[in-house]
Structure 1
Amino acid sequence: MTQSSPDNRDPAELVDEVEALGPERTALDRLVARGARGAAWMVLIAMGISVVEVFLRYGFNNPTSWVHESVVFLVAVTFALGGPAALARNSHIRVKVLYDSAGPRLKCWMDRFNDLVTLGFCLAMSYAAFHMFWRASHNPLGEWQLERSGTSWNPPFPALVKGMILFALALMTLQALLHLVQSIRARPADHEPIAHESTDRETR
């Protein structure tokens, strides 16, 4: 007869369990990943109003003054939010040749170093983004005045985009800090590969 045990399960079940956990490392990462899925709809909105502009411009000879800047704004915001989303999903581009060949203890220290460098980078970029947004949101006298596009419609999109960049970088800084705390608390055993027994059975 065929017998199964908790330690000798179907590989497909193990894959499903791993995928259900997701690549997010913290509760904040999971929140950011859910928010990113909602923010991705801005690309569809940008495409939709672009189609409307084409019909109005070439079909009715009635072009708009707001579609182009709105599309640029929506796409820029989407790109800005892509940073926290990639950090949350651990989907940023990287070369893992050295990491994959390292042992568990070295991997543990490499994770700590990587998270420390990421935190330092995000802090520096957040500092620069703050000054960029300050100049876009205040006039030379220090009064609140949003930078505008200077077109006939003249929306405050330049200032809003820079504010979104600041928000995204501040969020990435918090994510990186939580990742660093997590990697410091991690043990080398957490990087040990999981060995699964063969699931081949013999029917007797």
Structure 2
Amino acid sequence: MQATPKRVRSFQFVVALFSLLLLIIVGVTFYEVIARYIFRTPTIWANELALWLSAILFLAAGLYAMQRDQHLRITVLYDASPAWLQRIFDLITLACCLTFCLGIAWFGAPSSWQSLMNWEPFGTAWNPPIPATVKPLIVLTTGLMALYGIINCVKRFRGIPADTAESVTEDNRVD
């Protein structure tokens, strides 16, 4: 069995923590269903909490996919293409990624900053600060995704296989 580097183990720990959010979301949703349909006492917080945690989890999952260079790709065309055409596809992918991510970050920054400074609430009975936390996270995440897009494109141009630094043996898998 191969020893797992400390950096990879700590990264696996962070991934496992985010995976626990799924269990919390399921638990909160289960509690809400039981409270609403069995005891006829619905909560004012369960739906918003599940929404809040789901938003954080989706942002983390997108960043995780970009970090590992395992986002969606039309591999039928890409794998069948010669190396020069793959590089063109990589540049087109990078241009689309940067346009989207930097556009979201640039145009979302003023709104997210205002939400954060005003600690904008959600506007429901429980009124959690979902916009105040999620909007800045969207801007931060898309900025990081753009950075990972550049890193991934440079790695492909240099011929470095995806996820070499974090490759883990089957015995050490998180999932």
Q: TM-score, normalised by structure 1?
A: 0.63
- How far is 1:32 from its partner? 6.7
User: 1:82, 1:38 → 2: CA distance?
Assistant: 12
Q: Equivalent of 1:115, from 77, 86, 94?
A: 94
Q: What runs of 5+ residues in structure 1 fail to find an aligned partner?
A: 1-16, 18-26, 138-143, 192-204
User: 2:67, 2:34 → 1: CA distance?
Assistant: 39
Q: TM-score, normalised by structure 2?
A: 0.71
Q: What runs of 5+ residues in structure 2 fail to find an aligned partner?
A: 162-175
Compared CA separation, residues 73 and 103, structure 1 to 2 (3 A)? same
User: 2:82, 2:156 → 1: CA distance?
Assistant: 16
Q: Equivalent of 2:147, from 160, 174, 192?
A: 174
User: 1:145, 1:160 → 2: CA distance?
Assistant: 11
- How far is 1:135 from its partner? 3.6
User: 1:85, 1:174 → 2: CA distance?
Assistant: 13
Q: Equivalent of 2:136, from 163, 168, 173?
A: 163
User: 2:101, 2:15 → 1: CA distance?
Assistant: 19
- Greater helix fraction, Structure 1 or Structure 2: 2
Give yes or no for contact 1:33–1:85 (8 Å, CA) kept in 2.
no
Give yes or no for contact 1:136–1:158 (8 Å, CA) kept in 2.
yes
Mapping of residues 1-204 of structure 1, within 5 Å: 35-137=14-116, 144-184=117-157, 186=158
- What one-letter code is carried by the residue in structure 1 that aligns with 2:65? A
User: 1:130, 1:41 → 2: CA distance?
Assistant: 29
Please say which structure displays the higher CA radius of gyration: 1
Compared CA separation, residues 94 and 183, structure 1 to 2 (3 A)? closer
Q: With a CA cutoff of 8 Å and minimum separation of 6, indicate the structure with the bigger relative contact order.
A: 1
Residue 40 of structure 1 aligns to a residue whose secondary structure is helix
- How far is 1:123 from its partner? 1.7
How many residue pairs get aligned? The number is 159
Compared CA separation, residues 58 and 112, structure 1 to 2 (3 A)? closer
Give yes or no for contact 2:69–2:152 (8 Å, CA) kept in 1.
no
User: 2:69, 2:78 → 1: CA distance?
Assistant: 15
User: 1:182, 1:174 → 2: CA distance?
Assistant: 12
Q: C-alpha offsets along residues 147-183 of structure 1, whole Å, 9 cap, x if unaligned?
A: 1122222111122121221221122122122223334
Q: Percent identity over the alignment?
A: 31
